[in-house]
Amino acid sequence: MIQLIRGFKDILPGEVELWQHIERTAVLLFEDFGFKEIRIPILEHTELFSRSIGEDTDIVEKEMYTFSDRKGALITLRPEATASVVRAYIQHKLHSIDPVQKYYTIGPMFRRERPQKGRYRQFYQINAEVFGVASPLVDVQMVLMLMAFFSKLSVPDIQAHINSLGCPVCRVDFKSSLTGFLSDKTEHLCADCKKRSIKNPLRVLDCKVPGCKAVLSAAPLLAAHLCADCTQHFNTVTSRLSELKVPFVIDDRLVRGLDYYTRTTFEIQTGSLGAQNAIAGGGRYDGLVKALGGPDQPAIGFAVGLDRLASIVALNNADFSRRPDIFVAALGEKSQDMAFGWICAFCGEGIRAEMDFGDKSLKSQMKRADRLGAKYVLILGENEIEKGAAVLRNMATKAQNTILLPDVVQSVKEKIKHFERSTNLDG
Ligand code: AMP
């Protein structure tokens, strides 16, 4: 039997309803905040990612699914969405309509990481990006929108971790201080970090290897090297977040695994996930649009990890399964014909209706209705046709009513509407 690829997974009915609920919640909320959906391709030229994410990052060095296509061009399954959204902003000159653009996108990302709980090789993200706004208030708004999203989903125990990664001006000073710090410790670093400490010392900061982490616990902090503008920007972000009572901590060791981040960076962590505790991350990338050949426009974005979020929301035991409103149990050819007409009418009216297309006994049809969790069963056999009335059974209360055949569609519609309005199962 052919199995799925390691690190990939199926999202089956039963689970997928929860994902739909999360996605719908995001769409409604983000659109209230003025974001519009953008859909970007899954494959891009490899260069887009290597130039934006950075050559010395784990993603580009080790994790990308890169292939040469039949003509030899190097293409990559997207490991993240921001680079593609930036490419689209530049390629379609969306900035010429208005430099301020706000987009969200939902879809799969691919990274060949070591699979473990909460870490997959195909995983899903909800991304939001804002272009053209330099004000720190938009940073506050992004964190606020994320927290509102998690609160709508009743995600427990969440906290925003915030840091500033400064700008190219403050990094010059910081880089030399970090290089000085690392110079006599290279023998304790992993092979990758030995190279990084020379080529791109900032990348050493987010190495996950325990030996490197231990060395870095005493490393100089970027926060101590911020220029006046970056300090002011960061102070505005933190003071506004406090005013808005957003739960956050300043985490001066927070760095993120992509080169393009500047100034405000953040991660939303939860206490309910164990080791993979980040459910969203993001920050400013003020230099990326220009670096990829666009105008000099600032930008900020975030990505929510949908797989991890779904696993937390599932722990709340919420039931998002969609049961049929009605199951028509029809016995005999004539009844089946009538039943088919009804279920076609119901489904067009927003009523979830099912029937059995085989010629099964009443007992076995009732069993199936029960298994599907149908709220009502409408029973129609030769007797009922003769009497001109079908039997409607409420599966929770077991109460039964007869309904005249010409009134079936209308009466059932009313029953279901009433069922939905009332919290009592009143037959
Ligand atoms: P990043 O794009 O690395 O900043 O990640 C943003 C969010 O995506 C993280 O906080 C995780 O929730 C999620 N994420 C990243 N990588 C994976 C993965 N391999 N499997 C599942 N979720 C992931």
Contacts of 184-193 with C-beta under 8 Å, sequence gap 24+, read 185/215, 188/212, 188/214, 188/215, 189/215, 192/61
236 Cα to the center of ligand 1, angstroms: 28
Q: What is the pLDDT of residue 209?
A: 85
Q: Which one is predicted more confidently, 234 or 201?
A: 234
Q: Helices 168-183 and 228-243: crossing angle, nearest 10°? A: 100
Distance 166 CA to ligand 1 centre (A): 23
Give residue-wise pLDDT tens across range 380-416.
999 999 999 999 999 999 999 999 999 999 999 998 8
Distance 54 CA to ligand 1 centre (A): 17
- How far, in Å, is the centroid of ligand 1 from the Cα of 181? 30
125 CA to centre of ligand 1 in angstroms: 7
**Atom 15 of ligand 1: nearest residue by CA position:** 305
Phi, psi of 103 (to 5 degrees): -125, 150
Alpha-helix runs per DSSP H in 153-227: 168-183, 191-199, 210-216
- For ligand 1, what atom is nearest to the CA of residue 125? 8
Which CATH code for domain 326-417?
3.40.50.800
* Answer CATH for 16-167+227-316 from 3.30.930.10, 1.10.10.10, 3.50.50.60, 3.40.50.620: 3.30.930.10
d(CA 280, CA 303): 5
Residue of the CA atom closest to atom 14 of ligand 1: 305
**Residue of 267 and 199 predicted with greater confidence:** 267
Confidence of residue 424 (pLDDT cuts 50, 70, 90): very low
Please list every protein residue whose CB sits less than 6 Å from any atom of ligand 1.
Answer: 80, 111, 113, 118-120, 123, 125, 256-257, 278-281, 303, 305, 307-308
Select from 63, 56, 89 the least CA-distant residue to 77. Answer: 63
For atom 11 of ligand 1, which residue has the closest CA?
A: 305
The residue whose CA has the least distance to atom 20 of ligand 1 is 119
Round the average pLDDT of the chain to a whole number and report it: 92
Q: Do 409 and 342 form a contact (C-beta atoms < 8 A)? A: yes
Would you call 356 exposed, middle or buried from its count of C-beta atoms within 10 A (0-12, 13-18, 19+)? middle
Ligand 1 centre to CA of 277 (Å) is 10
Distance of CA 265 from the midpoint of ligand 1 (Å): 15
Give Cα separations from 347 to 73, 237, 341, 375, 401 (angstroms). Answer: 48, 50, 10, 15, 22
- Across 36-50, 85-99, 183-197, 363-377, least confident range: 183-197
CA–CA gap between residue 333 and residue 331 (Å, rounded): 7
Quote the ligand 1 centre to 51 CA distance (angstroms). 20
Ligand 1 atom with the shortest distance to the CA of 120: 20
Per-residue confidence band for 427, with pLDDT thresholds at 50, 70 and 90: very low
Looking from the CA of residue 257, the nearest atom of ligand 1 is 3
Residue nearest to atom 17 of ligand 1 (CA): 119
pLDDT at 164 over 80: yes
pTM of structure: 0.89
3-state secondary structure of 394: strand
Q: How far is the CA of 118 from the centre of ligand 1 (A)?
A: 9
267 three-state secondary structure: strand
- Distance between start and end Cα atoms, the chain: 48
pLDDT digits (tens, 9 = 90+) for 86-144: 999 999 999 999 999 999 999 999 999 999 888 999 999 999 999 999 999 999 999 99
Q: How far is the CA of 159 from the centre of ligand 1 (A)?
A: 17
Give the position, in ligand 1's atom list, of the atom nearest the Cα of 268: 10
Report which ligand 1 atom has the smallest distance to the Cα of 308.
12
Contact (CB, 8 A) for 380 and 329: yes
Domain boundaries, the chain: 16-167+227-316, 326-417
Q: Is the pLDDT of residue 257 over 90?
A: no
Please report the pLDDT score of residue 317 as a whole number. 64
Which residue's alpha carbon is at the smallest distance from atom 18 of ligand 1? 119
Counting Cβ atoms within 10 Å, is residue 80 exposed (0-12), middle (13-18) or buried (19+)? Answer: buried
**Residue 378 — pLDDT band, cuts 50, 70, 90?**
very high
State which of 9, 49, 255, 307 you would mutate to test the pocket of ligand 1, scoring each by most atoms of that ligand within 8 A of its C-beta.
307
